Structure formats: structure tokens, C-alpha cells
């Protein structure tokens, strides 16, 4: 008897230009998972409405996210890749789950509190964001959901909502498990903080070469001179270099740091070259895909058609369970 593959669901918000923190923190893992199970990856355009982006900006960001993922190795033959909003059943399921979700559960959400503390204008979409996320997860009967540690609470809330539904009506939803990669460290930005658009310290995956080099060369370091030995473990340039370099290359650069007569300018140039080499095949693939925008739309359309088949079956059962139709 053939063992069924686990169904793995990942969502990515089209919130702006993707950077290397996005790549090493989520994208790379999502692409590798397509070899591990039945994978679904959606572009969470409904989630992005919580900050009311301009319509033209949102459409462009969705297109860009799709382009970047395909360029970086996402295989639409192995992963159902689609726009969240193309599956309208998710809005119906969100309402049904909203009616089962206590206010106290949502009021405990760390993410909502953090966003309000940072000056986000509160709205009901932002407040009930975890319910839409639960609908995304439960709609596709997902077994595993890759999440960062900052999103783990939302996954736990999705589990609570699924259990509440199953106890209230019938055992219908799979109870999802978090898939947290302990090997993925916080990706440092150019200033040493976590790489984030809100800190303005990002390096784009597909930055124009001249602009990328300028970013790398402007990374702040201490004031040690060329001749002085340096500590690679406390240097942001070296921490970024480790993302792109082999173990042998890392050891070689670390030895140069400690020996002296190796300046930060040399290290930054090596980092820039490693970055360009790493993403070179993906840059080539992206340039090819840009010439064929209809292919990207066709991939998303086909992915949505297949995902909708799963969603329709789930909603048929949900409607019957709650007494609709």
C-alpha cells in the first residue's frame, strides 16, 4: 500500500520587492519542500488588503512575487501555485470560522498587538487576520504549514479553530502541524538588525548590479584598520557571506579576518561577488520569464483550477455540516 504524501501549504504576502531575507528565510525552504510532499503555495493578496494598498501596486506585486518564485526554482508541475483571491470559497469559510472564533482568542494575537504598537491603523481585517489564515490552512486539509517563530501563534490559533469546528459539528478538518526549520536563523540586514523592509536594511534578490554593489559596500563595520586582525563572528559582512559561501570558502575568509592585512573592503567585494554568483542562474531564468507574462498568468490560473477542486469539496462538506444548502 502506497503511503500518502503529507500536504504542505505555504502562503506569501505580496507586500513589496522580495529580498534575500525572504529568500533564505522562507522562499528557499518552500521551493525545497516541493520534493518532500504534496505542496500548495499561494500568493496572499487578500491578506495584503489589511493595509489598503493601491490597486495597481497590488497587481504589480502579485505578478512580481510569481515571477520571483518561478525564477528561483518553484516548479508548477510539483506545486499548486495560485492567487489566494482566485479561490472565492476561502471568504465563505472565513465567515463560518469567524462565527466559531472567540474574541478572546483574537485579542491574544501578538502580531496584531505588535502592528498596532508600530503605528498600523487598526481595522477588523487586521484584527481577524488569523481567521482568514485558518481558512487558508483548513480549506486544503493541510497537514504541515511552514511558519517562522513569529507566526507560530497564528498556526496554533488555526488548530484551535479547527478543533472547535470538529467538536461543534463533525470531525471534518485535518489538525495542521507547524513545520519550523530550526536551521533558518534570522537573516541580518545591512545594519545588523533583522532584514526587514520596515527597517530599510534589505538587499533585493534581483537588485540591479550597480545598486546591489553600492548596498554591500555601505554595510557598516567597526573602525579596525587593514593590518589589524578582525573577528568574523562579530562582523555583519561575514554573517551575510555565510549565506552564499561553501564551508571551505567561509573558513578561508574567517582565516583572512583573523590573520590581518585583510580589510573590510575586501570582504565586502567578496560578499558582493558571492551574491552575484549565487543568483546568476535565477537572474537568467527571470529575464526569460519576463518576456512571457502570459506564461506566468497561465501558471497561476492552472494552479487555481486545481486548488479550487480541493476547496469545493471541503466547502461541500462544511456547508452540509453547518446546515447550509
Q: Which one of the listed residues 6, 197, 242, 302 is annotated catalytic? A: 197
Q: What's 60-107 look like in SS3?
A: HHHHHHHHHHHHCCCCCCCEEEEEHHHCCHHHHHHHHHHCCCCHHHHH
Asked about 115 being catalytic, the answer comes back as yes
Give the list of residues 6+ apart from residue 177 with CB closer than 8 angstroms, or none.
Answer: 143, 144, 145
| Beta pairing class for 177-179 and 79-83 | unpaired
Strand, helix or coil at 40? strand
Q: Which one of the listed residues 115, 215, 256, 268 is annotated catalytic? A: 115
Give the list of residues 6+ apart from residue 232 with CB closer than 8 angstroms, or none.
Answer: 238, 253, 254, 257, 258
Strand, helix or coil at 225? coil
Cα 292 to its chain centre, rounded Å, is: 24
C-alpha cell at 262: 585583510
Asked about 5 being catalytic, the answer comes back as no
C-alpha cell at 242: 555565510
Q: Which one of the listed residues 28, 152, 194, 242 is annotated catalytic? A: 194
Cα distances (Å, whole numbers) of residue 46 to 9, 15, 121, 151, 261: 16, 11, 17, 17, 53
| Beta pairing class for 79-83 and 144-146 | unpaired
Residue 12 pairs in a beta bridge with 43
Asked about 214 being catalytic, the answer comes back as no
Q: What's 242-262 look like in SS3?
A: HHHCCHHHHHHHHHHHHHCCC
| Rounded distance between C-alpha atoms, residue 312 and residue 90, angstroms | 10
- Residues with a catalytic annotation lie at 115, 194, 197
Amino acid at each position: 500500500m502506497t503511503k500518502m504524501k503529507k500536504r504542505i501549504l505555504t502562503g506569501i504576502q505580496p507586500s513589496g520587492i522580495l529580498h534575500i531575507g525572504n529568500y533564505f528565510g522562507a522562499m528557499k525552504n518552500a521551493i525545497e519542500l516541493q520534493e518532500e510532499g504534496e505542496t500548495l503555495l499561494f500568493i496572499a493578496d487578500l491578506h495584503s488588503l489589511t493595509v489598503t494598498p493601491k490597486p495597481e501596486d497590488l497587481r504589480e506585486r502579485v505578478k512580481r512575487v510569481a515571477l520571483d518564485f518561478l525564477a528561483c526554482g518553484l516548479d508548477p508541475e510539483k506545486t499548486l501555485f495560485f492567487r489566494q483571491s482566485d479561490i472565492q470559497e476561502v471568504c465563505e469559510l472565513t465567515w463560518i470560522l469567524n462565527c466559531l472564533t472567540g474574541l478572546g482568542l483574537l485579542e491574544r494575537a501578538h502580531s496584531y498587538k505588535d502592528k498596532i504598537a508600530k503605528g498600523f491603523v487598526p481595522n477588523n481585517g487586521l484584527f481577524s487576520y488569523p481567521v482568514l489564515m485558518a481558512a487558508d490552512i483548513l480549506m486544503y486539509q493541510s497537514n504541515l504549514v511552514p511558519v517562522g517563530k513569529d507566526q507560530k501563534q497564528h498556526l496554533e490559533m488555526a488548530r484551535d479553530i479547527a478543533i472547535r469546528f470538529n467538536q461543534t459539528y463533525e470531525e471534518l478538518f485535518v489538525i495542521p502541524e507547524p513545520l519550523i526549520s530550526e536551521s533558518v536563523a534570522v537573516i541580518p540586514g545591512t545594519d545588523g538588525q533583522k532584514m526587514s523592509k520596515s527597517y530599510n536594511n534589505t538587499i533585493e534578490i534581483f537588485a540591479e548590479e550597480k545598486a546591489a554593489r553600492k548596498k554591500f559596500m555601505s554595510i557598516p563595520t567597526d573602525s579596525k584598520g587593514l593590518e589589524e586582525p578582525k573577528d568574523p563572528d562579530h562582523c555583519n559582512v561575514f554573517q551575510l557571506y555565510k549565506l552564499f559561501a561553501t564551508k571551505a570558502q567561509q573558513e578561508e575568509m574567517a582565516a583572512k579576518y583573523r590573520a590581518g592585512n585583510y580589510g573590510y573592503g575586501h570582504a565586502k567585494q567578496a560578499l558582493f561577488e558571492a551574491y552575484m554568483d549565487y543568483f546568476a542562474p535565477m537572474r537568467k531564468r527571470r529575464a526569460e520569464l519576463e518576456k512571457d507574462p502570459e506564461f506566468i498568468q497561465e501558471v497561476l490560473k492552472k494552479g487555481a483550477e486545481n486548488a479550487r477542486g480541493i476547496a469545493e469539496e471541503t466547502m461541500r462538506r462544511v456547508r452540509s455540516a453547518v446546515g447550509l444548502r
